[in-house]
Structures are given as structure tokens and as C-alpha cells.
Structure 1
Amino acid sequence: MKIIIDDKIPYIRGAFEHVAEVIYLPGAKTTAEVVKDADALVTRTRTRCNEKLLAGSSVKFIATATIGYDHIDTTYCETNGLAWTNAPGCNSKSVEQYIASTLMVLADKNEWNLSEKTVGVVGVGNVGSKVASICKLFGMKVLLNDPPRERAEGGDKFVSLETIQNQADIITLHVPLNLKGEDATFHLGNELFIKKLKNIPVLINSCRGEVVDTNSVKNALKEGQISDFVCDCWENEPEIDLELLALTAIATPHIAGYSKDGKATGTRMSVQAISKFFGLGLEKWVPVGIEPPKEPEFEIDGSGLTEQQIFSKAILHTYDIRNDDKLFRKNTELFEKLRGDYPTRREFPAFTIKVKNLETKAIDKLKELGFNI
């Protein structure tokens, strides 16, 4: 048995070596010639798994260690008897942390009380539901839009996109990239979408670059139709639009889901899926060696602080998005390297807070975020 693995997937080395021949390669070097005699691929979003790569190969199973799977031609795979899987929800807590840091930085910059703001969450799957939960924890009014879920579950907890356009101060996108059909999301954030925005909101894209139309957002920022744009996912990555970059409030190189915890979960799900498919006996395999944070324990003295300021101290200790923004702006030509060599970022449960002069309500909310107290 032969397995080709993207060499940027962490914690996976040693998982299969005792049951298969394993080759580690950069995604860009995973070619048709390389995979022709492989049984399985473990990949990321940079490898296009389509007819050009797979035709005439012996590949039977593809595992992508990512939530997104638009790099896999699922129609081709299913037509030709190739099984595939993604890792749904693997980095949802990481994106939650990314959005939490974003909100704290924007609140500080704009002198916001978040409890007075309305946020529209477009796409309420694994990621969007967690983002909605933390926004509620911050006291925000939360509007949920998810047409597929609304059709399946009824409309009581969902609102139309028009309602979000009319009421939201912040709109955060968490949809998959669907190119066509009833739930198409390609260029969802286009000129027409923007023209209907009433409150000159902040727009956040941390799902897929093509969900937002670059030119429409640039024009909207120039004309004051949106107040700020926070962008992690870009059209035409890694050759991003530098004019849009200059206009954004916060810019990062597609790393919202790049916590070590999220990556480890994606790896675990991929290994276990391949094991189950081929009967390798690795269904209980888990990654080891996940790097600890630099300062896993820290103190917060709540004297004179508002609840939002307490949240800000806790969240920004774990992840200050301004650092990624600064590094990216200085090294835009290194888009892929910044992703591939992304430093250790751990999620809230990897941290313990020593609290002083905090009310029980604030402590309970920090615990709800995932912190150890």
C-alpha cells in the first residue's frame, strides 16, 4: 500500500509507516506521475484533486485535512469510484478564536461596546455556530442566516440575508464555496449585496476568498459603503490583490483556522478515515507532540475593568491578530510561506487564568469560552 501525504500536514509522520509506503511531498509537487501508483492521498487545499491528477491512477481514497473541499472534484471522484473525505469542524474553534480576537481589536480601535452591536452570521455550520455563540457571550445581538438549515429545521431561529443587510453592524461570512445552485455562494459579497447594506457595517471574510468579489469590496471601501473589511481569505491566492490589502482594516494570509489544535484535529480525522476505509486498525490514533503555548498560565486582575476589557485581556493573550496582520503586510510575497511556517497558536482550553477581583459572572463566561480557571 502506498500513501502520498502533503508535507505541510503536521503530526502525521509515523502514523502510517508501519502499514504502508509513505511519501511526503509539497502540495505543488503532487502530480499525476507521483500519484499514479498510490492508493491514498492526504492533502490540503493547495492540491487540485481532479481528472488531470487522478485519471489512470490507482488512487482509491482522498482525505483532505481541511474543512473545505472545493479543491476536490467530487463529481469526478464519485463517478469514478474514488472515495473522499474532509475534516468538518476540525478548525472551528480556531476560527472562533480568530473572530474573537478580531472583535476585540475592532472594539478597541473604534471604541465600541460590543453589547450594543448587532452581528450577522452568514453560514451557521460548525464554524458559524461557534462564532454566534461567542458573540452572544459578548452580549451582542446575533442574527443567523443559513438557507439550507432553515429549509431543514424551520425558520424560527434564522433570518433572511435582507434582514442582516438592514440591521447588522458587523457581517461575518462562514459559508462553503458553492459555484452554482440554489445555495450558490460564489461572489455572494458582490456589488448588489453591498448596495443593500444599511448600517455601513464591518465585513469579515474568513471562509473562502471567492465568496467575496474583490472589485466590489474595493469600491465599497472607497465609497464608504462598508466601514472596514477584515480579510483572511482572498481571491486568486497566493497572488492577492494588493490594493484590497491596503484598504483592509485587518489582513491575514488564510490562517484563521491554523491553530495547532485545529491542525491536529484535521490530521487525526484524516488518519482515522483512511484507516477505516482500508482496515488499518488506526481508528483510535491521535497526534502527539502538540506544542504548548509560550505562556500557558497568566493572571487577570479585574479591578476597574469592564467585562469586555476582561475578555479582551484573556483573548488577546492567546492570540493577538494584529501580529499576523503586521507580519503579512511586510511580507505579502511570502503568502504560502507564512501559511506553511505558521507559528504555534493554541486555542483557549490550552490556557489557565489566575483570576483576581473578578465577579463570578465573568469567571463563568471565561470558562464558557474554554479557559481553565
Structure 2
Amino acid sequence: MLKIVADSKIPFLEGALENVAQVVYLPGGKITRDHLTDADALITRTRTKCNEALLKGTSVKIIASATIGYDHIDTAYCEANGIKWTNAPGCNSGSVKQYIASALAEIIRLENRSFEDITLGIIGVGNVGSKVAAMAKTLGIKVILNDPPREHSEGKGEFTDIETLIAQSDIITMHVPLSHQGIDKTFHLANADFFGKMKRGAWFINSSRGEVMETQALISALKSKHLAGAVIDVWENEPDIDLKLLELAHLATPHIAGYSADGKANGTAMSVQAISRFFNLGLDSWQPTNVPQAPQLELEMDCTSKPREQIFTEICRFAYNIHIDSDNLKKSPETFEQQRESYPIRREPENLRIKIKGEKNCVELVKNLGYQV
């Protein structure tokens, strides 16, 4: 019988494959080569380093990662040894967009800025970056885009060189994969030179990978007040994060930007479907049926005479209060991993209803942000 080893913390997975395979669930960080000797497949997250040390001499034929990122997979080794690998691109893009919206709302509230006065630089315009860009444009924020791999394949189009983006942006948000080599490597892309060239008083947001930023360089930029603030969800050396950066970051969260229930369900579904297609299991359209529903949330909002910035801030706070996650991590950084693993149910905008009283353009704004009205 087919044998599958799976990270026990992948949500909604239990019961999906048991009718067609023997499934062994183990903590992701404790999966070893011995567990995989006779396994046909591995379903994983970022906590399992899928490299030669783990895979050599095993019978693993496919690795399915229920995550957007795949830097935990030694893709060259897998490809050289006939091991197929898949990830889940875009699975939690809506969740990360929601996180960025809450971060933007907090920055706008703190600085009392109007949308039209803000330039947002987006580095990495894939599934997540594209959604963040569309949201910002809906609000009337000026957007600058940088994505060298896409520019190489598609042409310059609307893309801007990174030097211009750094110099002109009031807020920079990172949405790139982690790569250590090549002309488009992203390891420590945000380094001392990068931060030094940012506008004085600008903001930095990272929800991509911790190693994309150079921690000590960001600490220096924040300590010197060159940057007004930072919003950090991903860290070097997780879960042993830098406590000085934790202190200095205005908002600091434990790698949960993509942790909505919807995003988790999407990632799990994509992994099960990949395994099904590879082994012809007949589950190519499988979707989890056990996604818990958050309490039906309704916000009644009187938009009469309110500026759009205030409306946006109130909606973001209602949909996802980023301060709760930040306060929890700042109080207890040693429980970083536990906070991820016991993360409460968070639903994305299409599952939330807002009752609007006020101008028609307010209704259109709320609809364009993805909420039920």
C-alpha cells in the first residue's frame, strides 16, 4: 500500500488520504531519513529541510509542500534524483494581502496620511504582490513595482528598477521568494545599502522570507531613526528571532501573515491534489470539508462624511486586528512556534459582511476591497 509521511501540523489534512494510502503524521521538524526509508511521498511545510541528508536512500518519489515558499526543498538534488516536488503558489495570497492591508492601515493612522500622498513600493509582483498592488490602486495609493524575473520574461512594461523604487517609496513591502544565487538573488536584498537609500521616515514591511533582509542593517536603520518604522512577520533564524529587532519593530508577528483558515485550506488542497495526480488516486479535485467557520462577523458602519482613510482603517481593524498578534509575540517571543501552531481562526474579507450607511462611493470602496456588503 502507498505510504505517505506528512507534517502533523498541516491543517485539514487528516482523513483526506487514508482511504488510498497509509499516512504517518509526524512533527515537521522531527521527520528523519529513517521515517522515509519506505515512504512513497512526503507532505510538508517549511520546517522540514528536504535535502540529501533527509532523502538519500529513501523511496520518496514526490514532495508536496503546502506552502508558497520552497526554499526548504533542495530542488536541484530532487531533480537530479528523480524526486518530483511541488509547492502551493498563491495558496495564501489573499491572507497576506489582508495582513498588508492592516499594516498599511496602521501606518496611515499613525502618520495621518492621505492615500494620494503615499507611494508604495512592491518588490516581487507574483501572486501576493499583484493582489497588494491591486488593493493599493483601489485606494488611490501610487504604486511602484519591481520584479526582475518577470521583467526578464515579459519586458519592462510597468516595472521599475530597484534603485528608483527605493528612492521614491514611502513604504516598501517585500513579496519575493528566497534565492541565494543568480542575478536575481534575494538573500539579504534589503541590506545596509538598501536601507540607507530609502527615504528618511519611510517604512519597511517584510512578510516574504526572513533572510531577504539583513537583520543588523534593519536594526541600525531603525535605531538611527532613518526609518520611521518596520512591520516584520518573517525573521532570520526562526524561531530564535532577534530580540532587538522585535523591540524596535512597530508591529512584529510570528510568521502568520498567510495563516488565514482560507489560506491554510488552499495549501492543503493543492498538496493533496498534487499527490493524487502523481499516483492517480482520484482526488484531483479534493477540498477540505472541515474548515472551521469563524463566528459570523458583521460590522455596521456609518460612512457619512468619513474620509476614505478612516473607513479603510476601521474595516481593517474589524477584519484582522494585527495588534493582537504583535502584542502576543512581543510579550512572549519564546513561544514563537506555539503561537503559529495554535493560531486562531482568521477568515478573509469575502467571508465578512459589512452593513454600510452613507455615500455610494463608500459602498463601492468596501466591495472593491473584497467584503460582502
Is the structural similarity TM-score above 0.5?
yes
Instruction: After the TM superposition, list the runs of 4 or more consecutive aligned residues in structure 1 that deviate by more than 4 angstroms.
Output: none
Q: 1:199: how far off? A: 4.0
In the alignment, structure 1 residue 125 sits paired with structure 2 residue 132: no
Structure 2 counterpart of 1:312? 313
Structure 2 counterpart of 1:369? 369
Percentage identity across paired residues of the two chains:
53
Q: 1:224: how far off? A: 2.0
Structure 2 counterpart of 1:168? 169
CA offsets per residue over residues 229-250 of structure 1, 9 Å max, x none? Answer: 1100000000110011111110
In the alignment, structure 1 residue 20 sits paired with structure 2 residue 48: no
Q: Distance in 1 between matches of 2:280 and 2:157?
A: 43
Q: 1:356: how far off? A: 1.2
Structure 1 counterpart of 2:58? 57
Structure 1 counterpart of 2:217? 216
> 1:366 corresponds to which letter in structure 2?
V
**Other structure's SS at 1:227 match:** strand
CA offsets per residue over residues 138-173 of structure 1, 9 Å max, x none? Answer: 211000001111122221201111111211000000
Q: Distance in 1 between matches of 2:196 and 2:120?
A: 18
CA offsets per residue over residues 86-107 of structure 1, 9 Å max, x none? Answer: 0000000000000000111121
Moved more, 131-140 or 87-96: 131-140
Structure 1 counterpart of 2:197? 196
Q: Distance in 1 between matches of 2:66 and 2:20?
A: 20
TM-score between both structures, scaled by the size of structure 2: 0.98
TM-score between both structures, scaled by the size of structure 1: 0.98
Q: Distance in 2 between matches of 1:353 and 1:195?
A: 42
Structure 1 counterpart of 2:354? 353
Return 5+ residue gaps in structure 2 as ranges. none
> 1:150 corresponds to which letter in structure 2?
E
CA offsets per residue over residues 80-125 of structure 1, 9 Å max, x none? Answer: 0000100000000000000000111121122222321001000000
Alpha-carbon contact 1:167-1:199 (below 8 Å) kept: no
Q: Distance in 2 between matches of 1:144 and 1:261?
A: 27
Q: Distance in 2 between matches of 1:162 and 1:64?
A: 34
Structure 2 counterpart of 1:239? 240
> 2:361 corresponds to which letter in structure 1?
K
**1:36-185 equivalence runs, <5 A:** 36-185=37-186
Alpha-carbon contact 1:70-1:177 (below 8 Å) kept: yes
Alpha-carbon contact 1:203-1:230 (below 8 Å) kept: yes
Alpha-carbon contact 2:303-2:362 (below 8 Å) kept: no
CA offsets per residue over residues 256-305 of structure 1, 9 Å max, x none? Answer: 00000000000000000000000000011111121222342221111231
CA offsets per residue over residues 41-78 of structure 1, 9 Å max, x none? Answer: 11000000011111100100000000000000000000
Alpha-carbon contact 1:66-1:87 (below 8 Å) kept: yes
Q: Distance in 2 between matches of 1:166 and 1:309?
A: 28
Alpha-carbon contact 2:49-2:72 (below 8 Å) kept: yes
Q: Distance in 2 between matches of 1:198 and 1:315?
A: 26
**Other structure's SS at 1:41 match:** strand
Q: Distance in 2 between matches of 1:279 and 1:16?
A: 12
**Other structure's SS at 1:76 match:** helix
Return 5+ residue gaps in structure 1 as ranges. none
Alpha-carbon contact 1:43-1:62 (below 8 Å) kept: yes
RMSD, aligned CA: 1.0
> 2:364 corresponds to which letter in structure 1?
D
> 1:42 corresponds to which letter in structure 2?
I
Q: Distance in 2 between matches of 1:13 and 1:142?
A: 42
Structure 1 counterpart of 2:229? 228
Alpha-carbon contact 1:168-1:199 (below 8 Å) kept: no
Alpha-carbon contact 1:166-1:199 (below 8 Å) kept: no
Alpha-carbon contact 1:65-1:87 (below 8 Å) kept: yes
CA offsets per residue over residues 158-199 of structure 1, 9 Å max, x none? Answer: 111111121100000001001010100000010111222234
Q: Distance in 2 between matches of 1:72 and 1:58?
A: 16
CA offsets per residue over residues 187-234 of structure 1, 9 Å max, x none? Answer: 001011122223431000100000000010111111122111110000
Q: Distance in 2 between matches of 1:313 and 1:192?
A: 36
**Other structure's SS at 2:100 match:** helix
Structure 2 counterpart of 1:8? 9
Moved more, 101-110 or 255-264: 101-110
Structure 2 counterpart of 1:252? 253
CA offsets per residue over residues 323-347 of structure 1, 9 Å max, x none? Answer: 1000111110001100111100000
Q: Distance in 1 between matches of 2:80 and 2:305?
A: 63
